[in-house]
């Protein structure tokens, strides 16, 4: 029996958080949730997820700041290669920096199956993902 992938989902919209959590659990993933960026970072350290899903517009620390911390801050060096999916209502063209920090972007509103497809792809190809250089 193979190990279930653990996914951390961070979103301050409780309805989206619960919907994504339920969909992931029904697809046999272990799920850890967070309602803001600070909580997300704490739970990433505690749970060491296989994949992270972040909303960009969150209180205390937004998703872009969480991405920056994970990729650039030495205290999070152990987590910098975890694939990240941005799940956001922000217009993708106006949010250029996260493209270099995240592995995928799913726009809200979204079809749950499109999110699941991104998750499957990233988990299957985790070691083969080539990120752009971060300056």
Residue 131 lies in a domain: no
- At 132, is the pLDDT very low, low, confident or very high (cuts 50, 70, 90)? very low
Residue 18 lies in a domain: yes
Domain carrying residue 116: 6-125
First-to-last alpha carbon distance for the chain, in angstroms, is: 41
**Structural domains of the chain, count:** 1
Indicate which CATH number applies to the domain containing 90.
3.40.50.2300
Give this prediction's pTM: 0.86
The pLDDT tens digits for 22-52 are: 999 999 999 999 999 999 999 999 999 999 9
- Which helix (H) or strand (E) segment holds residue 15: the answer is helix 14-26
Residues contacting 23, CB < 8 A, separation 6+:
112, 115, 116
Which one, of 18, 14, 20, 21, lies nearest residue 36 by Cα? 14
Residue 134 lies in a domain: no
Does the structure show a pLDDT above 60 at 112?
yes
The pLDDT tens digits for 63-81 are: 889 988 998 899 999 998 9
């Amino acid at each position: 029996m193979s190990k279930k992938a653990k996914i951390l989902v961070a979103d301050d919209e409780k309805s989206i958080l619960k919907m994504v959590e339920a969909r992931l659990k029904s697809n046999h993933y272990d799920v850890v949730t967070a309602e803001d960026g600070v909580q997300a970072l704490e739970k990433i350290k505690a749970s060491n997820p296989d994949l992270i899903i972040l909303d960009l517009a969150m209180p205390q620390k937004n998703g872009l700041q969480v991405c920056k911390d994970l990729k650039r801050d030495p205290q999070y060096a152990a987590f910098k290669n975890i694939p990240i999916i941005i799940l956001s209502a922000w217009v993708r063209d106006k949010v250029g920096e996260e493209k270099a920090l995240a592995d995928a972007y799913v726009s809200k509103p979204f079809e749950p199956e499109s999110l699941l497809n991104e998750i499957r792809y990233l988990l299957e190809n985790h070691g083969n993902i080539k990120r752009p250089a971060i300056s």
